[in-house]
Amino acid sequence: MVTDQDIAKGVESLLRHSDPNSITTVNGVVQQLEAKLGLDLSHKASFIRDQIDHLLRSQPQTFAPHPPPLHKDYFAPHTQLHFPTTHFAPHFALHDEINFLQHPHPPPPRKVETFPPQNVAPPQVPKESVQTGSKRRGGAGGLNKVCGVSPELQAVVGEPAMPRTEIVRQLWAYIKKNNLQDPGNKRKIICDDALRLVFETDCTDMFKMNQLLAKHIIPLGPTKESQAKRVKVDTEIKTESAEPAPSTVAISEALAKFLGTEGREMQQSEAIRLVWEYIKLHHLEDPLNSMVILCDAKLQELLGCESISALGIPEMLARHHLFKQSDTR
């Protein structure tokens, strides 16, 4: 039986290594995964869509040593030849409507299995690889790892333990349900009695909430056995690859003004995340195609265009609004 983790890895592999013209819809991704795994995944369409959305939002960007000047034909093919390529297919279109009944796809190819003669011992390599895979397969981790919730925050989100992503989702649901956003500035949160106990202030904003939440989200300690397994897995992963530390960059004056912050330094991933929060908060995704962003006046002033592909936003920010520390000296 295939797990969500296997499906997530399959989605990432397809987006990184497939021909950009071979998959342009969620249907295409589902069909290729079905062919690859030999299973019907139509019931997993929503999960696959979420994985695609997560990968597109969180992809890292590289810096160009000499950024070219911004002009109207930024996304024209001849200019794209000089841009750093992203990790995922640049023409991928995430359509909202998926109808597997009206558009049936061919069944996945059957795997042809060959069996060795009974008097010949089967090779041992597959068995070892299966054991290795089972060793590295752990429980939920990262953003999906269940964390403890402080009593103060529990009064808001309603549960003593939940994943960090769910904590943030429930917190925003509480804020919107109780109309705690400043009508004149949606990024400003006016605390009621419950939030005042959590944030210890009368008002805050969406950019400071993560820092204020930190002391109310408590890591749940693993057992000795699971901790020993985790150390072993971490050691194996480190020998395979070393992930680079999050890079702190200098942000442009225009981006600082857009985010409403006085600081000119932050992590690159955080800057991109805050721009996406603005897009989500103001419902700027095209209702017919969520991979197209329809810029309002403020976002248009920052990016210099009326609409932009979701894939183009991190690249645009990296080229014109995020700079290495050495580039600003």
CB 39 within 8 Å of CB 108:
yes
Residue 278: per-residue pLDDT: 92
Distance from C-alpha of 47 to C-alpha of 232, rounded to nearest angstrom: 30
Residue 271: per-residue pLDDT: 86
Residue 63: per-residue pLDDT: 43
Residue 116: per-residue pLDDT: 52
**CA 149, 154, 159: angle at the middle one, nearest 5?**
80
Domains of the chain: 4-80 (no CATH), 143-219 (1.10.245.10), 248-328 (1.10.245.10)
Residue 177: per-residue pLDDT: 92
Residue 219: per-residue pLDDT: 83
Residue 99's contacts (CB-CB under 8 Å, 6 or more residues apart) are: none
Instruction: Decide: helix, strand or coil at residue 289.
Output: strand
| pTM of the predicted model as reported, rounded to 2 decimal places | 0.30
pLDDT along the chain (329 residues), means of 10: 81 74 73 78 84 73 45 44 44 43 50 52 51 48 77 87 87 91 88 88 83 82 56 57 65 88 84 91 88 90 89 86 66
Residue 144: per-residue pLDDT: 75
Q: What is the DSSP letter of 95?
A: B
The amino acid at 177:
K
Overall residue count recorded for the chain in this entry: 329
Residue 222: per-residue pLDDT: 58
Residue 249: per-residue pLDDT: 86
Residue 171's contacts (CB-CB under 8 Å, 6 or more residues apart) are: 153, 156, 157, 209, 213
Instruction: Decide: helix, strand or coil at residue 181.
Output: strand
